[in-house]
Amino acid sequence: MTGANGVIGRPQLVLASASDRRVMLLTQAGLAPDLVAPADVDETPLTGEKPADLASRLADLKARRASQDHPGAFVIAADTVVACGRRCLPKAETLEQARACLERLSGRRHDVITGVAVIAPDGRMARRRVETRVTFKRLSLAEMQGYLASGEWRGKAGGYAIQGLAGAFIPDISGSYSAVVGLPLHEAAAMLEGLGFPPGRRWGRER
């Protein structure tokens, strides 16, 4: 097999995301992407769309978009949605959005839903959705103000990053920690393996 990068026997792995966290997670699992190619899609929820359906739909859409641009490659895409009940919290881009997210999450449990889609060079596709329940402590005014001042919330679903300062706000999770960071590693590795991604790539035994 000639991969998308022209190397015989070595298909390219393309990550359809601009997330540094997903690059870090894949690299941690021995699946460092050959190419990071964010897929530009409209992430606006459809009318009446449930958070879980939104996460799955966007992961699927991103994978398909990137696969069109990189035929012959394995493509992996993901989308993470933070939900309080049926309500999707935004990827906070302003201080006001971040404050509203923290106020809603403070002292409550919420769900983090990550959809994952993988497309093989021959067009076969695998999809998974991982849901994790996260508990937030009740935040004091000082904690909330300090976190907002850090700027760590910017661009994060729900206005926080569990792998950063906000980890101190979370006494309990039920499910996949890596999925809350941005990509469920167990499921992602299994999907790639199931579609024929060379296992030697993970363990450094390429030929």
Active-site residue, from 40, 42, 69, 79? 79
Least confident range from 42-46, 163-167, 203-207: namely 203-207
Kindly report, residue by residue over 51-68, the tens digit of the pLDDT.
999 999 999 999 999 999
Longest dimension (CA), the chain: 58
* First CA to last CA distance, the chain: 13
Amino acid at 138: R
CA distance 125 to 64: 9
* Residue partners of 100: CB distance under 8 A and separation at least 6: 159
Is residue 198 very low, low, confident or very high in pLDDT (cuts 50, 70, 90)?
confident
Instruction: Confirm whether 8 is domain-assigned.
Output: no
pLDDT band at 124 (very low <50, low <70, confident <90, very high): very high
pLDDT of residue 202: 61
Condensed to tens digits (0 to 9), the pLDDT of residues 134-187 reads 999 999 999 999 999 999 999 999 999 999 999 999 999 999 999 999 999 999
Q: Which amino acid is at 165?
A: L
Cα(151)–Cα(58) distance, integer angstroms: 26
User: Using 50, 70 and 90 to split pLDDT, how confident is the model at 6?
Assistant: very low
For residue 194 the two structure tokens come to: 């199931």
Q: What pTM does this model have? A: 0.88
- Strands 35-36, 13-15: pairing is parallel
In a 3-state reduction of DSSP, which class is residue 125? Answer: strand
Residue 95, burial from CB neighbour count under 10 angstroms (0-12, 13-18, 19+): middle
Q: How confident is the model at residue 201 (pLDDT cuts 50, 70, 90)?
A: low
174 lies in some domain: yes
Q: Is residue 19 domain-resident?
A: yes
Question: Does residue 104 or residue 202 have the better pLDDT?
Answer: 104
Q: What is the DSSP string of 78-112?
A: EEEEEEETTEEEPB--SHHHHHHHHHHHTT-EEEE
Residue 79 annotated to the active site: yes
Q: Which of 2-6, 69-73, 115-119, 145-149 has the lowest mean pLDDT?
A: 2-6
Predicted pLDDT of residue 2: 42
Q: In this structure, is residue 7 part of a structural domain?
A: no
Contact 74, 13 (CB under 8 A): yes
What element of type H or E holds 22? helix 20-28
Of the candidates 198, 200, 192, 169, the one whose C-alpha atom is nearest the C-alpha of residue 25 is: 192
Domain, as residue range, for 55: 13-203
126, part of any domain: yes
How many residues belong to the chain? 207
CATH number at residue 136: 3.90.950.10
State the total domains in the chain.
Answer: 1
5 located within any domain? no
- 2 lies in a domain? no
Average pLDDT over residues 82-102: 95
Q: Given a cut of 90, is residue 116 above it in pLDDT?
A: yes
Question: Would 108 be classed as within a structural domain?
Answer: yes
Average pLDDT of the segment spanning 44-56: 94
- What is residue 4's predicted lDDT score, i.e. its pLDDT? 43
